Amino acid sequence: MRGKRGLCSDCCAKKDVRDYLFNLLPEGAFVLDVGAGQGIYGHLLARRFRMQAVEVSASAVYHLRKSENYLHVWKGDIRTHNFHRRYDLIILGDIIEHMTVGDAQAVVKRCEESADYVLIAVPYCYKQGALYGNDAEIHIQDDLTPELFDERYPGYTRIFGDSLYGYYIKKTEVKKEG
């Protein structure tokens, strides 16, 4: 189980990520939490940012909508999600490893086109099957290493991590209209 593999470093790193984001973005920034799951990023960030979420699991959507941490929660798959606005930050926390490389690269590109910053958090070399009967939990990119991440998702800077897990960020190029 993931918790036994790196709970302390992952928990501590999330607090470091929170502090990093608090220094990076202004209060009231719009943040989209993709695959919000249990709402950890919402819990960490909602006191300062305006949070929205996209989540594929119906039961998670139900609980996320009951929380006060998200302004809106969409049930859906990020691969087909229609972005409703431009975000200051999109968080892909434990998401891309659940997709093929091609699908994940397409999602990352769409996120980069819809946000000023994209944060990606991934486990390294972590095999996982379906959990709770949910095939969306299967790790398809279970071979990720820091080197493979850099090769598959260029332009990202690792801001925190260890041998088990990494947090990466990229400032996108804002496309000006007109």
Residue 2 has pLDDT above 70, yes or no: no
DSSP-based three-state secondary structure for 81: coil
Q: What's the pLDDT tens digit per position in 11-57?
A: 568 889 999 999 999 999 999 999 998 999 999 999 999 999 999 98
Q: How is the chain split into domains, by residue range?
A: 2-171
Residue 106 has pLDDT above 70, yes or no: yes
DSSP-based three-state secondary structure for 21: helix
pLDDT at 124: 85
Whether domain 2-171 has CATH 3.40.250.10: the reply is no
pTM of the model: 0.88
pLDDT at 163: 87
DSSP line for 112-147: HHHEEEEEEEEESS-----BTTBGGG--S-TT--HH
